[in-house]
Amino acid sequence: MYKNILIPLDGSENAEYALEQLKKIGSPGNFERVIILRVFVPLIIDVRDYIGAEMAKQTEEKLKESVNKYIKDTVEKLKSEGYPIDGMVETSNEPAAKILEIAEKENVELIIMTTHGKSGSRRWILGNVTHKVLTHTPCPILIAVKR
């Protein structure tokens, strides 16, 4: 049984499907630690140039507050169900690389992620984070597709 699990979330209902998978593979007592991770991606340079540095800073601060609240609320909900949850918010322009870094740093035994079920050239155009993690992961990965 996997004891140390990482679940990257992006705030979408689709990504939260990974939480349902956690509940399917074990009850709260089966796990030593479950890490809920949200990688915050800063505004791109083009947006900063368009709206101005001060407005970009204010917008990023509001977005980051929202991300922190989302993780806090998700952690509290799962803790109330008895899961040993830790929440993390990391900032990076490369979400997949940050997920892999955290997985290695935290000695994760399993990553649970979702995908939108896109394939072929569309996946490459979208820069699918799940695909990048899958092809470079240091541990097993459970990929759930919500259809």
Higher pLDDT, 110 or 138: 110
> Taking the domains of the chain in order of start, what are their residue ranges?
4-145
Instruction: Categorise residue 93: left if φ over 0, alpha if ψ from -120 to 50, beta otherwise.
Output: alpha
Residue 140 tokens read as: 């097993």
Provide the CA 78 distance to its chain's centre, in angstroms: 15
| pLDDT tens, residue by residue, 13-70 | 888 999 999 999 999 999 999 999 999 988 666 665 666 777 777 888 899 999 999 9
The whole-number pLDDT of residue 46 equals: 63
**Position 87 pLDDT exceeds 80:** yes
Higher pLDDT, 13 or 101: 101
Domain 4-145 grouped into CATH 2.120.10.30: no
**Position 127 pLDDT exceeds 70:** no
Beta pairing partners, 4: 33
> How many Cβ atoms from other residues are within 10 Å of residue 111's Cβ?
27
Q: Are strands 141-145 and 33-40 parallel, antiparallel or unpaired?
A: unpaired
**Position 106 pLDDT exceeds 90:** yes
Distance (Å, whole) CA 124 – CA 110: 25
Q: Which of 36, 43, 42 is nearest to 15 (CA)?
A: 36
Angle between helices 95-105 and 129-136 (to 10 degrees): 40
The whole-number pLDDT of residue 26 equals: 92
The whole-number pLDDT of residue 39 equals: 95
pTM: 0.87
**Position 126 pLDDT exceeds 60:** no
